[in-house]
Amino acid sequence: DVKVTQSSRYLVKRTGEKVFLECVQDMDHENMFWYRQDPGLGLRLIYFSYDVKMKEKGDIPEGYSVSREKKERFSLILESASTNQTSMYLCASSFVTGVFTEAFFGQGTRLTVV
Quick one: which of 35, 75, 78, 81 contacts another protein (CB under 8 A)? 35
User: Which span (12-20, 27-35, 62-70, 74-82) binds another protein, by CB under 8 A?
Assistant: 27-35
Chain-centre distance for alpha carbon 9: 13
Identify which of 14, 4, 24, 33 has the alpha carbon closest to the alpha carbon of residue 85: 14
- Decide: 92 and 104 in contact? Cβ < 8 Å: yes
Shortest spacing between CB 20 and another protein, in angstroms: 19
DSSP 8-class letter at 21 = E
State yes or no: residue 7 binds another protein (CB under 8 A): no
Shortest spacing between CB 86 and another protein, in angstroms: 17
State yes or no: residue 43 binds another protein (CB under 8 A): yes
State yes or no: residue 15 binds another protein (CB under 8 A): no
- Decide: 25 and 104 in contact? Cβ < 8 Å: yes
Identify which of 92, 43, 42, 82 has the alpha carbon closest to the alpha carbon of residue 62: 82
Where on the chain is the footprint of another protein (CB under 8 A)? 4, 31, 33, 35, 40-45, 48, 50-51, 54, 56, 58-59, 90, 92, 94-100, 102-108
